[in-house]
Chain A
Amino acid sequence: MSLGFVLLLSLLIFCIGVAGVIIRRDPIVLFICIEMMFNAANLAFVGIARATGLVEAQAIAFLVIAVAAAEVAVGLAIIIAIFRSQHDADVDHVSSLKG
């Protein structure tokens, strides 16, 4: 096992998440892909903690999980509020904030 393997895996997962955010138009799947990018960052943190012995990286990963949970709660509430007011869940059609 090496740090390079974990960082490569993290990089690949992050890129899949980016591709998903661009390809999909469904807000729920967009959120899932954003969570995937959070998880890729966490994987890199854990790998660095294992390879260098710095447990601070694990503490940061813990904080990232908490922030991601808060973000999901607020984001899903906003998606449901938009869906209830506009009856449309396509991110390309929700453009009322566009100038």
Chain B
Amino acid sequence: MGLTQALCILFGALALASALAVVATRHVIHSALWFITHLLCLACIYGLLNAPLLAVLQVMVYSGAVMVLFLFAIMILDASVLPALPRGQGSLQALGGVLAALCLLAPGLAWLRLEGRGLGQPWPAASAEGSTAAVARVLFGSYLYPFELVSVLLLVALIGVMVLASRKLESTEGRP
């Protein structure tokens, strides 16, 4: 239990630091690489929270497929054209962003402090077999309809991306 807690705090701190690095670094590729670190830390936390299925999916889908897509888009877009933080009004804009985040953070902290008295208690012991079987039972039982809807959504996204790409090709052919 002590080891789990220490690892959770370690990966939580790493996730926070890499999230800050994503926002703070100027270069797009550095942001993407820090985001991969962030995702892997979250996967470790999922594993520590007795969610092995989500930990594996986080590594495969997020830090695998999604980030490859991001890096591919950065490569196509030619990262030197992408805008960095604005030079002149950068500090003002950053101040606005930090203030907006604080406006969200304050009520959340207040809620955790006021309403969350029961949240500080340690939770029950994890089941020995893990939760993958239970998640599968729920996902293919009462959540079967949303699950199938998500598969339709993925199909629609696939077709939409192909339409976007092919329409682009037509218009570039029409351009002199």
Contact = CB atoms under 8 A, between A and B. Distances in A.
B112 A58 contact: no
B114 interface: no
Interface of A is mostly: helix
Interface residues of B, number: 89
Contacts of B101: 15-16, 18-19, 22
A15 B168 contact: no
Given A28-B82, A62-B53, A80-B76, A12 B8 contact: no
B131 A58 contact: yes
A16 B70 contact: no
Contacts of B93: 22-23
A81 B31 CA distance: 22
A47 B45 CA distance: 9
A24 B25 CA distance: 10
Interface residues of A, number: 72
Interface string A9-45: 1011111111111111111110111011001001100
Contacts of B138: 55-56, 58-59
Contacts of A7: 112, 116, 119
Interface in B79-136: 81-86, 93-94, 96-98, 100-102, 104-105, 108-109, 112, 116, 119-124, 126, 131, 134-135
A71 B97 CA distance: 24
Contact of A62 (B35, B54, B126): B54
Given A1-B8, A89-B77, A12 B22 contact: no
Contacts of B8: 1, 5
Interface in A50-75: 50-53, 55-56, 58-59, 61-63, 65-74
